[in-house]
Amino acid sequence: MIRLPDIPLPRAASRQLASWQAEVDALGNHAARVEAAKRLFKQRNTRKNKTFAEVRRALTSMCSGAQRCGYCEDSAADEVEHIRPKDLYPEWVFAWRNYLYACGPCNGPKNNQFAVLSRASPKLVEVGLGLGAPLRPPKGEPALIDPRGEDPMAFLVLDLQGTFLFGPSARKGTRDYARAEYTLCVLRLNRELLTVARAEAFSAYRARLSEYITQREQGASRAALLRLTQAIQLASHPTVWWEMKR
């Protein structure tokens, strides 16, 4: 998981989302806003809705490879995901900044799992809709790493020596360690299918890099080298390439 590019929405679509958000925000209490957020998003997030057609178009341009999930980078992304769950944060339901394109295997298990950290402690406070959770989320820094606004690889390290597992880069007991562990757990980013796919991507990147070096040393044209460079940039599992460069 790497930081996603910041793609702006067309002005008309951005204005429409802001208008819809204002409609939710105007309601009297948190419960009413949550109900409206869920109902209105379901009504408007359709293929025929012009605003969400623009949303999906912009989200697709953020994806790696052939429209890969913004979390796992492996499965096809076909769900407009709320990074902050709309069932907990209705004030973010129509916020462009809160969207990414995700796959079902990531978005389904994540669902309404969300946690925050207080300023005083690295201890996570789960704010999902489970038993005993508060109706209104408490204030705090989100535990889930946000690839729309943060660089996930500032928190994570990917083992390229055989396991292809993600791990926290920070020292255990720190806030950054807690956020990395929480993100890996909620999104299940170390599931076996993904480690196999990363191993395959590693081999593919090495082969592409070797081809580039060979072509360059044999005097290939700038246009030919550019095509090879672009092929690397558009390949799947860009986190593997990112970690190779690091």
Tens of pLDDT, residue by residue over 119-173, are 776 688 888 765 444 467 778 889 999 999 999 999 999 999 989 999 999 999 8
> What's the pLDDT at 138?
73
Neighbours of 167 (CB within 10 A): 15
Instruction: Give the whole-number percent of the chain exceeding pLDDT 90.
Output: 74
Query: Binning pLDDT at 50, 70 and 90, where does residue 214 land?
Result: very high
Contacts of range 228-231, beta carbons closer than 8 Å, 24 or more positions apart:
none
Model pTM above 0.85: yes
By the 8 A CB rule, do 194 and 72 touch?
yes
Q: Looking at 9-13, 228-232, 238-242, which range is the least confident one? A: 228-232
Averaged pLDDT for residues 95-99: 96
3-state helix, strand, coil in the chain (%, to 5): 50, 10, 40
Q: Is 180 helix (H, G, I), strand (E, B) or coil?
A: helix
Look at residues 77, 109, 100 and name the one whose alpha carbon lies nearest to residue 236: 77
Averaged pLDDT for residues 84-89: 92
> What's the pLDDT at 177?
94
Q: Which residues in 11-25 are b (16+ Cβ under 10 Å) and which e?
A: eebeebbeebbeebe
* DSSP bridge pairs for 28: none
Q: How far apart are CA 103 and CA 63, in angstroms?
A: 11
Boundaries of every domain in the chain: 11-192, 193-245
Look at residues 154, 144, 153 and name the one whose alpha carbon lies nearest to residue 188: 144
Does residue 46 surpass a pLDDT of 80? yes
